[in-house]
Amino acid sequence: MRVRVASAGTGKTTSLVRRFLERIGEGEPLRRMAGVTFTRNAAAELRARVGEGLRDLLQDGSYLGGLVTLDPAARPRYQEALRELDGATLTTIHGFMSLGLRLSAPLLGLDPDFTALPEWEAQAIFEEEFEAVLLVARDPDHPLHESAARIGEPARPWAQAVFAQRSLAERLAPGPGDARAADLLALYQEAYPRVLARLGATRASPAEIERRALQLVRTPGALARLTARAPRVVVDEFQDVNPLQGRFFAALEAGGAQVEVVGDPKQSIYGFRQADVEVFRTALRTGEVLAPLQESRRHAQVPVRFLNALTRTLAAREWGFVQDEAPEVRAAGAQADVRGRVEVHWVRGGPALGALRPREATVLAERLAEAHRAHGVAYQDMAVLARTYAGLRTVRAALRAQGVPAVLLQGRGYYQRSEVRDLAHALRVGIDPAGPSLPAWLRGPFGGLTPGELDATFMAEDPLAHLEAAHPAVWARLQRMRAAAQEPPLVALRTLVRTPVAEEVRMVDLLSVEQRENVDALLFSVAQQPPGELEVLLERLDLLSRRGEAGDVPQAGEGVSLLTVHASKGLEWPWVAVYDLGGGGRPRPAPLYLEEGRLHLPGGPGFEAARSADATRQRQESYRMLYVAASRARDALILTGSVTDRGAEGWATALAAMKLGPDRPPRTQDDFVLAVHPPAPAELPDPDEPAGAAGGLPEAPWTQRRFAAGPFPPVESPSRVRGGVEGAAPAAGPRPDDEVAEARLVSDPAEGDRLPGQAVAVGTLLHDAIRRDADPTDRDEMALLRAQEVMFPYAPEEQDRLLAEVREMLGVYRSLLGGPLPALEARTRDLREWPVVLPEGGQVWQGLIDRLYLAEGTWYLDDYKTDRTLRPERYAFQLAVYREAVLRVSKVRPVTRLVGLRDGAVLPYDNETLRAAWAARRGAGRQDG
């Protein structure tokens, strides 16, 4: 295997194109070569660049100013290669593996037309099969009964974690002396063959494609067919492959193919996707090492010097990589004449990073604003990188305070978001009402059918006829979809988003602020390149939904790009700022560990050693992330960090080792700045001292006017006001200790990072489930709740516990329907999570009514509570505000009730209690100025 190290910006893709052009010129047909890379985007770029190189050679006689020159005798070979380009094997790793599998599918027990299954769907299938194994294992006579009993409830999340990491090892074994790991693997190995049986010969997920590919290279006939089809294989981004992929390419080389790999261990940052930098290092130790690429056409002079100093420092300490993996680079091409700039800014002092980060973000925002004013750098030519989206939100607030426009890129999977999929299903239903999108449309916001209604519709002999008879309002909406589908694609999309879909409610009214921005971004994207036909738009959306890397669609507008370091890989900007160098020092623990195929569970003999080894890997990867972030800048790099009294942590340790830490003397040069800032500005303006009028103009009469502060902000939620009618003063807190302990946002003070409390998560999920009339026994509904953002901070076993609590209370709610609560089908109007904005006495009350509905001539206003001990008097004012808002808008005084979702209590308020609560509290807000 031939191996080449290519540092960031050194023309890795150019070197691959050069290799293809040289081999074609020497007589090797393009159809007999394979170019393999990590993402579909990269594969598409490689195809485009090879085509560009072929055309340049044929038209101009050279590629990139003589990097490759045309031998007249080779012209027919290049012409032939250009004709073959569309069918050339320039694809992803899984695409190349799939090609080999299709060539010999019958030998491997596959259908040649097998389809690739998304990993999330494979995960769902495994969860179902594992649940079935646990079910049959309840039988005391079942051979796995004792294993399941010994592990207990953690079996589910542990097995799911093993399944998610199956690309790390082909074979699994328990850690030495770990009896519970042996029990878990016995259950896992019972469920996994069931998954394979369900996938059969027609479907394969990415990890199963890898395992089938290993079977291929061990089957002589199949291996010979693949090496004959592609005797030369060039693999890009080899630092990102996982162990099974590495084993496949090694076997391919041993089977006769000439495998050439290129990559950069310094940029291996995808450990969470099972990428293993040791695969590349093995190739470096055992293969033919080619000269590294050392000319950077990305970086200006000063950023290159900084990167070289950074890689020297890290390599000398073996922080992330070693010296052989970090060759020095030099500025080349047009960038060799650009001086460039590097700035390092520290905010130092205090016990907690969380208190320093807002100041750090302000410093960063001020530097970008100054770059725009003083250097004329356009904001769209700037980017801010951070480890997490939480950090980016802090930066965005600071940028807005400076008047700097910013775009928070949403990360991967934009085209898989529910609001985007809902629109795609609506368009498809407009084209083909009886097509496969009809169930999703009926279940989504446009149809709004319950699971039971959906089953009845599709159990009918003619689903559309049943829909027309049983749900005339939904049928009328379907006809609107069909009419919209006759319009041009952009008009159709706008119609679906902006016109009422149900009960005079528009789709856009059902969305959160973030979802609305996503839909606006979709409209903006389509408007930029409007397709001529609706089918073309749907094909584009379908393609992009399968491309995880195509997810970076901005919320709206233009400005400084805000994105995580992982999302920045492969991108570059003239000016780049890296935020929060002082954080991220703590490794993320995992529920279990796989070490070279050995499974270690908590409490097992090898668990602590495995956890320590994983923590070391994470720290090593963290240093590589710093290199990736710093190497995105073309002309200028700004680094900011916060350092507490404890000293440097995280990436700040690397800068300190470079003698650029907060303890060094400040420096200010034309092309380099090292500055240390106090935790707060040295001098803050006196808020009571009016600023002098510019130009000596007299003060306006209102400049000295003051507004007395009320007990609440100008806009407040009534749910924050506890209590009923006793006294006129509001009671906004404190909450009882039991509620505080459960609902408070928990945090690590040293990090300043906040996670939603468990009560908040349960309440959010439960209200969402009730809004959608979810069935607690529906696995798809529960999977949808598990995918909610509020669940992300929790480990799988914690998610299971929260979902169990949600299912229990959802069951209580559904048991009330048709009894104390009118049945859903008995309601002639049913408004869910209805927004309330009620101005009163200079105060604006803003909130959401959980449910407002009309049943048998009576309006009901229900508010759902998850309190363990329900105290109606605490919510009297909140419900009084909601009832007053309904009364003012509709002249209706609804029956107002609390619904306890833990014990099923339905507690109505009498009119006198609500009137008294409203009268006592209404004047407690701010007074008109």
Query: Could you count the other beta carbons within 10 Å of the beta carbon of residue 446?
Result: 23
608: left (phi over 0), alpha (psi -120 to 50) or beta: alpha
**What CA–CA distance (Å, rounded) separates 768 from 308?**
51
pLDDT of amino acid 761: 86
At residue 384, the 3 state secondary structure works out as strand
**What CA–CA distance (Å, rounded) separates 830 from 832?**
6
Q: What is the pLDDT of residues 626-649, one digit of tens each?
A: 999 999 999 999 999 999 988 898
Regarding beta strands 560-564 and 406-408, do their DSSP bridges make them parallel or antiparallel, or are they unpaired? Answer: parallel
- Is residue 182 within 8 Å of residue 190, measured between CB atoms? no
Q: Which residues contact 920 (CB under 8 A, 6 or more apart)?
A: 724, 725, 726, 727, 728, 877
At residue 12, the 3 state secondary structure works out as helix
pLDDT of amino acid 525: 60
Distances (CA, A) of 646 to 317, 583, 649, 686: 22, 12, 8, 32
**What CA–CA distance (Å, rounded) separates 845 from 713?**
10
Regarding beta strands 753-755 and 746-748, do their DSSP bridges make them parallel or antiparallel, or are they unpaired? Answer: antiparallel
Closest by CA position to 357, among listed 617, 521, 582 = 582
- 188-226: b or e for each residue (b if 16 or more CB lie within 10 Å)? bebbbebbeeebeeebbbbbbbbbbbbebbeeeebbeeb
For residue 834, what are the β-bridge partners? Answer: 849
**What CA–CA distance (Å, rounded) separates 115 from 213?**
15
Token duo for residue 309: 């100093």
Total-model pTM: 0.64
- Is residue 684 within 8 Å of residue 613, measured between CB atoms? no
pLDDT of amino acid 925: 43
pLDDT of amino acid 696: 54
**What CA–CA distance (Å, rounded) separates 583 from 586?**
8
Q: Which residues contact 445 (CB under 8 A, 6 or more apart)?
A: 422, 501, 502, 507, 510
**What CA–CA distance (Å, rounded) separates 637 from 624?**
17
- Is residue 276 within 8 Å of residue 245, measured between CB atoms? no
Token duo for residue 599: 């499974």
- Is residue 865 within 8 Å of residue 898, measured between CB atoms? yes
pLDDT of amino acid 779: 86
Q: Where are the beta strands (DSSP E) in 117-215?
A: 173-174, 203-204
At residue 487, the 3 state secondary structure works out as coil
**Three state DSSP letters for 284-324:** HHHCEECCCECEECCCCHHHHHHHHHHHHHHHHHCCCCCHH
**What CA–CA distance (Å, rounded) separates 310 from 767?**
50
- Is residue 510 within 8 Å of residue 445, measured between CB atoms? yes
Residues of the chain predicted below pLDDT 70: 409-419, 499-505, 508-557, 585, 681-697, 703-710, 722-757, 921-929
What's 647's DSSP letter? B
Residue 628, Cα to own-chain centre: how many angstroms?
19
**What CA–CA distance (Å, rounded) separates 182 from 185?**
5
Closest by CA position to 764, among listed 823, 848, 836 = 848
Query: Could you count the other beta carbons within 10 Å of the beta carbon of residue 868?
Result: 12
**What CA–CA distance (Å, rounded) separates 466 from 461?**
8
Closest by CA position to 639, among listed 271, 184, 303 = 303
pLDDT of amino acid 422: 78
For residue 715, what are the β-bridge partners? Answer: 844
pLDDT of amino acid 447: 81
Helices 489-498 and 418-431, interaxial angle, to 10°? 120
Phi/psi of residue 216, nearest 5 degrees: -60, -50
- 486-504: b or e for each residue (b if 16 or more CB lie within 10 Å)? eeebeebbbbbbeeebbee
Closest by CA position to 923, among listed 720, 706, 730, 708 = 730
**What CA–CA distance (Å, rounded) separates 420 from 551?**
12
Closest by CA position to 198, among listed 136, 255, 264, 125 = 125
Cis preceding-peptide flag for 734 (omega within 30 of 0): yes
Q: Which amino acid is at 737?
A: D
Residue 582, Cα to own-chain centre: how many angstroms?
23
Token duo for residue 139: 């039988």
What's 340's DSSP letter? -
**Three state DSSP letters for 86-141:** HHCEEEEHHHHHHHHHHHCHHHHCCCCCCEECCHHHHHHHHHHHHHHHHHHCCCCC
**What CA–CA distance (Å, rounded) separates 717 from 835?**
11
**What CA–CA distance (Å, rounded) separates 480 from 136?**
48
Closest by CA position to 203, among listed 105, 60, 308, 307 = 105
**Sheet containing 406-408: which strands, arranged edge to edge?**
406-408, 560-564, 382-386, 573-578, 633-643, 341-348, 672-677, 667-668
Phi/psi of residue 102, nearest 5 degrees: -70, -30
C-alpha count within 13 angstroms, C-beta hemisphere, residue 648:
18
**What CA–CA distance (Å, rounded) separates 72 from 84?**
20
Q: Which residues contact 520 (CB under 8 A, 6 or more apart)?
A: 555, 556
CA dihedral 457, 459, 460, 466 (to 10 degrees): 0
Cβ-in-10-Å burial (0-12, 13-18, 19+) of 17 comes to: buried
- Is residue 345 within 8 Å of residue 364, measured between CB atoms? yes
